[in-house]
Amino acid sequence: MRQAGRYLPEYRAIRAQAKGFLDLCYDPAMAAEVTLQPVRRYGLDAAILFSDILVVPHAMGLAVTFEEERGPVVQRVRSTQDVERLEPAAAAGRLEPVLGTVTRVRAALAPDVTLIGFAGAPWTVATYMVEGGTSRDFAATRRWAFGDPEGFGRLIAAIETATIEYLVAQVTAGADVVQLFDSWAGVLADDAFERWCVAPTARIVAAVKARTDVPVIGFPRGAGVLIERYAAATGVDAVGLDTTVPLAWARDVLQPKVAVQGNLDPLLLVTGGAAMEQRARAILDALGHGPFVFNLGHGVVPETPPDHVARLVACVREWRP
């Protein structure tokens, strides 16, 4: 999950200097600074690149803006003609500023602190491109995928091409691990999940692994029971668990196959105190005996008191198997 953000005063100070959110993502000095802030403040074991999954559609030639109230607005892609106008081969080159951030952060981090790069998974990125932003039900995307799977498949293929080059370039620039965020994986039935989440992810993982030697983490948010299939069939080394994945199931079903990462409810970081600490320990007790990365199950919310994050980090460090 993004570690930097509006809950940190030092982030807000940098954010105020950037014109728009994308300007912040494309300024290597500022983006590196906000990437490093939470690592400095909390002494975290890993840094996650400060960027956004929508830099890929932007680098493929679409207009992308971030509006304070409305969220991201993306130039819509609704037809195969729209897909043909995309420039997936040019995307990684245009993302040079983000790669510059990766290089700066890697150089600034202690050698034992891991740098996690990332991209959006094709299904999730496609939903933003088809809907023109976020959505409650992704109806336009599902209608296209169901009614014209061949045309929609071309969109997915274009995103795949751009994503593979971008992730490989992140590794070349210094990322130690890469993560694929499939934030909207949880709206598809099993057959559609197989076609639009599992298969594209498997192709990306295979291509990245053929050209680099870094682990890949997949995060099929909200995929429920289908996470088992995702863990078995995509080739990812680790699976991010959203808040709702039951701990005993993750331990018994997923952890024998892959490392797992997660999954504290970020609202418990707002609550803090005993409720937060008890749940953090329950997560560690369940998953800490196998391959595991402690994390949240979703992003930090702006209302989070920074001291609660410090207390959580201490709580995780105090835990012993």
By CB under 8 A, tell whether 285 contacts its own copies. no
Using CB under 8 A as the criterion, what x/- string covers residues 218-237 for binding its own copies? ----xxxxxx-x--------
Using CB under 8 A as the criterion, what x/- string covers residues 17-56 for binding its own copies? ----------------------------------------
Handedness of CA 177, 37, 23, 81 (dihedral sign): positive
Using the 8-state DSSP alphabet, how is residue 299 labeled?
P
Distance CA 39, CA 313 (A): 11
By CB under 8 A, tell whether 193 contacts its own copies. yes
Q: Mind telling me the catalytic residues?
A: 2, 6, 15, 52, 128
User: Which of residues 5 and 297 has its CB atom nearest to its own copies in the complex?
Assistant: 297
By CB under 8 A, tell whether 177 contacts its own copies. no
By CB under 8 A, tell whether 172 contacts its own copies. no
User: Which of residues 96 and 190 has its CB atom nearest to its own copies in the complex?
Assistant: 190
Distance CA 266, CA 219 (A): 16
Burial classification of residue 112, based on how many CB atoms lie within 10 Å of its CB (0-12 exposed, 13-18 middle, 19 or more buried):
exposed
Window 241 to 270, contacts with its own copies (CB under 8 A): 243-249, 263, 265, 267-268, 270
Single-letter amino acid, residue 46: A
Pick the closest to residue 272 from 314, 219, 232 (CA basis). 314
Token representation of residue 219: 């995060």
Q: What are 220's strand-pairing partners?
A: 182
Least Å distance, CB 130 to its own copies, is 13
By CB under 8 A, tell whether 314 contacts its own copies. no
By CB under 8 A, tell whether 67 contacts its own copies. no
By CB under 8 A, tell whether 79 contacts its own copies. no
Let me know the angle formed at the C-alpha of 169 by 107 and 228, rounded to the nearest 5 degrees.
Answer: 105
User: What element of type H or E holds 220?
Assistant: strand 216-220
Residues at the contact surface with its own copies, assessed by CB under 8 A: 136-137, 139, 142-143, 146-147, 186-193, 222-227, 229, 243-249, 263, 265, 267-268, 270-271, 275, 279, 282, 297, 301, 303
